[in-house]
Amino acid sequence: MAKLPDRLDIDKSDRKLYDHDIITNEILAGRTRKEQFLFAMAVGFKNEVKRPLDSREGFFLAKDMRSEDEALIDSVALHDMGSAEVLSDRKAVFRIAEEYAHAGIKVLYDEATSVQPGSFLKKLELELFSLLDSLNLE
């Protein structure tokens, strides 16, 4: 039986993006590594981009995830694979999440650095309102 992964990884090159001032002090200020990762994954998913990791390094431990965090990455895996079978392969579930986060953090960084300081969250707020209108929440 294959060993279950105990952590979620990022691409080594992403570390500097997660640690960039604009991310740590503005966009994702006050967020934990896990929260940063999940947000980057969501951005990647929304933009429908995922990139395989070239070189891995651990970012946070899997045991730190609560049921709702696991529900999010499991949902992404379910959406991506279209079958519940993927859930039994934790490695695959984590890999999908990592690939979206890898692409997502780049998108986030690019967007954050392309707008006036302080205006990213405003932009995000408007985008979310517009996204909300387009979603059928029922």
Partner 1 sequence: MRIEKIFLRNYRQFRQAEITFRRRHDTDLHFVIGSNGTGKTNLLNAINWCLYGDEPHLSKDSQQLPLLNLKTVDRMDVGKENEVAVEVWTETEHGEYITFKRRAVFRKHNDRKITHEGTKFEVTFNDERGNTKIATDEDAITWVERFVPKGIREFFFFDGERLDNYFKEATGQNIRHAVFQISQIDLLENCVERKLQDTLDDLRKEAGKTSPKIEGARTELEQAKNKLNEIEKRINECETQIGVAKNKVAEFGDKLRGVPDIESLEEERRKIETSLKETKELLGAKEEEKKSLLHESGSILMLWPAIKKATQIVEEKKRNQEIPPPVDKGFLEEVLRNKSCRVCGRSLDDSSSKQVRELIKEVETSSEIAQRLVQMEIPLYQFRERAGKYKEQMEDITRNITRYEKTLTEITQRKEQIDSQMAGYDEKLIREWYRERAKFEDLRDQNQRQLGGLLVMKQGAEGAVEKWQKELDTELKKEEKVKGLTKKIAFCERAVDVARSTREAIMKETRERVEVETKRQFFRLVWKKETFGDIRIKADYGIDLIHSMGYECLGSVSAGEREMLALSFTLALHQASGFDSPLLIDTPVARISDVNRENFAKVLCEVSTIKQTILLFTPDEYSEEISRYLGGRASGRYLLKLTSDENEAKVEVR
Q: Least separation, in Å, of the C-beta of 18 and partner 1?
A: 14
- Identify which range of 13-21, 56-64, 111-119, 129-137 contacts partner 1 by CB under 8 A: 129-137
- 30 makes contact with partner 1 (CB under 8 A): yes
In the complex with partner 1, which residue's Cβ is closer, 53 or 107? 107
Q: How many residues bind partner 1 (CB under 8 A)?
A: 37
Which residue number, 53 or 80, has a Cβ lying nearer to partner 1? 80
Q: To the nearest whole angstrom, how small is the minimum distance from the Cβ of residue 12 to partner 1?
A: 24
Please write down the long-range contacts of 115-121, taking CB distance under 8 Å and 24 or more positions apart.
117/22, 117/26, 118/26, 120/22, 120/26, 120/27, 121/26, 121/27
